[in-house]
A and B are shown apart, each in its own frame.
Chain A
Amino acid sequence: KNEVEQSPQNLTAQEGEFITINCSYSVGISALHWLQQHPGGGIVSLFMLSSGKKKHGRLIATINIQEKHSSLHITASHPRDSAVYICAVRLPQFYFGTGTSLTVIP
């Protein structure tokens, strides 16, 4: 059983579409992170959340502690957003979701 479940596993979108990636977790956490991993590349930490909502550019992350659920939204998606997006919860050590592979088509 995974402590962190992500959906969908794969997502293809047209440029400009609004995208939502979901993350559910089953354990009490001190923080939740959204990470971005490009093909062949390293990992970038996008957000760290313990409550509420954060926004950075076209990216928005929300978390509902009571429901143990977080979402990552991308507005006006662009091909350069194509990457794997990973949800991770911190206990303090991290447990990772299996990732959502996003492809944005021009």
Chain B
Amino acid sequence: NAGVMQNPRHLVRRRGQEARLRCSPMKGHSHVYWYRQLPEEGLKFMVYLQKENIIDESGMPKERFSAEFPKEGPSILRIQQVVRGDSAAYFCASLATGTAGYTFGSGTRLTVV
């Protein structure tokens, strides 16, 4: 069981480009949470997904950000037309259905230049 896998670990994008961050939860886990950690700030909830469903996206910026967790494959956090303020560490965590087990990925550090 490889744990929660996030890739890439580091991502550099120019302003205006798109960033795609991937999260593969632990085997058997069907709930995924995305969090953002801005420089010198704490973690902030962004979105909570189950397979093929967005359960809570109250922490997502209204524009340019979207997330999905398809039936097959990893969860994707997509940021369109990135700006410098999007530079942050993005973490995902997965939770197995019916349990309280909760595991974090190593994060993707996005730098917008």
Across the interface, name the chain B residue whose C-beta is closest to A99: B42
* Minimal beta-carbon separation of A57 from chain B (angstroms): 19
B74 to chain A, nearest CB (A): 17
Q: Check B33 against A93 for contact (C-beta < 8 Å).
A: yes
Say whether A43 contacts B45, CB under 8 Å. no
- What are the residues of chain A within 8 A of B104 when measuring CB–CB? 35, 42-45
- A2–B41 Cα distance when bound, in Å, is 13
> How large, as a class, is the contact surface on chain B?
20 to 34
Interface majority SS on B: helix, strand, loop or mixed?
strand
> Contacts A50-B100, A92-B56, A93-B59 given; 18 further ones with Cβ under 8 A?
A31-B100, A35-B104, A42-B104, A43-B43, A43-B91, A43-B107, A44-B104, A45-B103, A48-B102, A86-B43, A93-B48, A93-B56, A94-B43, A94-B45, A95-B45, A96-B44, A96-B45, A98-B41
**Chain B residues at the A interface, C-beta cutoff of 8 Å:** 33, 35, 41-45, 48, 56, 58-59, 91, 100-107
